[in-house]
């Protein structure tokens, strides 16, 4: 964990504490783990061997949570799973958000493995006012299929061929020791298919990754991938198809970046001193780095498990005692109470761990 005292003076930390405690709820992403089912068994799945919960939330309970969250200023709703499209209530829940979207300036989307339902279902989703569908892909065919299962790559690419170009579609890749050498080739394929939003983030060593002995990527390898991706994007011509390539980096890697010299040291310094975002604009193509600098639980993300517990990190879902890590359960308290618990937790966390 980054120690604030090593980087900032006391006055700055106190100001930061005040600022963080008073941030608007619109910074929160509410992740709804709406499905207990998946049609794949990926080697890096963070659900691991978690069993289905005994009392999953009903359609009405999900809608009630969303209604409550909207009243408390939450704008971003992210539907995950396991595979969200395998919950038959998903469309009904999404259509509730769709009706509220304009009035409350909401932003919502789903992550999907891309092969859980037929193409026309994805088309139907894309024709609504949903903001995004994020498809997961782990590399070129062989390595992707090794991680996600036979023929996943071909089936996904066939779908993408018929759905792209479309601004609402993005891909996400989990970078690990096993697929790190295939990311640049995947980038070529995605760009050729007119994918414009491409996300990547390092593997967290949890769930099935532990059972399958998948190793995390080293900070040096991650830096190499970012640097080589920038070089690749630099070679692209400026076209109407402007790429947005984003690397989301957890605090473990951020700590390495802060303590070592590398090609992005200058930009990192400006980020730490002035909060300037880290990105490269290359002929209209953007490569950006979303750093997790100080990971304060429950600050920007609340995860509602399929049985109603409120977690700060999806990595906790597979833990046997996940309910003990929860703020509370949405079946027992309303969103206003959840927000109070969150604020209290953040304040204590700041005092006990960061200050
Ligand atoms: S990683 Fe996603 S697609 Fe793969 S098994 Fe887990 S929930 Fe399913």
Q: Residue holding tokens 């969103």? A: 335
- Reported as a single tens digit per residue, the pLDDT across 184-196 is 999 999 999 999 9
> Does the pLDDT of residue 81 top 70, yes or no?
yes
Closest ligand 1 atom to 39 CA: 8
Closest ligand 1 atom to 81 CA: 7
| Predicted model pTM | 0.94
- Reported as a single tens digit per residue, the pLDDT across 211-270 is 999 999 999 999 999 999 999 999 987 677 899 999 999 988 998 998 999 999 999 999
- Reported as a single tens digit per residue, the pLDDT across 288-341 is 999 877 778 999 999 999 999 999 999 999 999 999 999 999 999 999 999 999
d(C-alpha 23, C-alpha 293), whole Å: 17
Distance 209 CA to ligand 1 centre (A): 12
- Reported as a single tens digit per residue, the pLDDT across 85-118 is 999 999 999 999 999 999 999 999 999 999 999 9
Q: What residues does ligand 1 touch, defined as CB less than 6 Å away?
A: 38, 40-42, 45, 47, 81-83, 113
DSSP labels, 152-172 = HHHHHHHHHHHH-S-TTEEEE
Residue closest by Cα to atom 4 of ligand 1? 42
In the chain, domain spans: 4-217+292-354
> Does the pLDDT of residue 7 top 90, yes or no?
no
Closest ligand 1 atom to 148 CA: 4
d(C-alpha 168, C-alpha 103), whole Å: 21
Q: Which of 137, 129, 118, 200 is nearest to 168 (CA)?
A: 129
| CATH (residue range 4-217+292-354) | 3.20.20.70
Distance 46 CA to ligand 1 centre (A): 8
Residue closest by Cα to atom 3 of ligand 1? 113
């Amino acid at each position: 964990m980054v120690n604030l005292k090593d980087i900032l003076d006391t006055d700055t930390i106190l100001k930061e504490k005040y600022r963080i405690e008073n941030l608007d709820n619109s910074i929160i992403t509410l992740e709804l783990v709406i499905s207990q089912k998946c049609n794949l068994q990926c080697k890096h799945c963070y659900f691991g061997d978690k069993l289905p919960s005994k009392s999953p939330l009903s359609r009405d309970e999900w809608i009630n949570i969303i209604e409550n969250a909207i009243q408390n200023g939450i704008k971003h709703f992210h539907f995950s799973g396991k595979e969200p499209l395998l919950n038959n209530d998903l469309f009904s829940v999404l259509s509730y958000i769709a009706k509220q979207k304009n009035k409350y300036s909401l932003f919502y989307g789903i992550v999907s493995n891309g092969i859980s339902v037929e193409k026309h279902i994805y088309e139907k989703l894309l024709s609504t006012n949903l903001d995004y569908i994020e498809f997961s892909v782990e590399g070129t065919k062989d390595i992707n299929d090794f991680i996600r299962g036979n023929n996943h790559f071909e089936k996904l690419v066939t779908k993408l061929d018929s759905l792209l170009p479309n601004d609402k579609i993005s891909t996400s890749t989990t970078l690990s020791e096993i697929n790190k050498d295939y990311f640049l080739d995947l980038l070529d394929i995605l760009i050729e298919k007119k994918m414009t939003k491409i996300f990547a983030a390092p593997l967290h060593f949890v769930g099935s990754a532990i059972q399958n002995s998948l190793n995390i990527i080293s900070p040096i390898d991650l830096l190499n991938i970012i640097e080589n991706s920038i070089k690749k994007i630099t070679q692209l011509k400026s076209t109407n198809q402007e790429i947005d390539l984003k690397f989301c980096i957890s605090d473990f890697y951020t700590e390495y970046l802060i303590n070592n010299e590398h090609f992005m040291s200058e930009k990192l310094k400006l980020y730490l001193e002035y909060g300037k975002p880290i990105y490269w604009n290359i002929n209209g193509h953007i490569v950006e780095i979303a750093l997790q600098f100080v990971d304060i639980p429950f600050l920007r993300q609340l995860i509602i498990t399929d049985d109603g517990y409120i977690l700060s990190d999806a990595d906790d879902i597979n833990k046997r005692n996940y309910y003990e890590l929860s703020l509370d359960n949405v079946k027992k308290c309303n969103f206003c109470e959840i927000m109070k618990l969150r604020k209290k937790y953040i304040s204590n966390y700041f005092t006990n761990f960061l200050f």
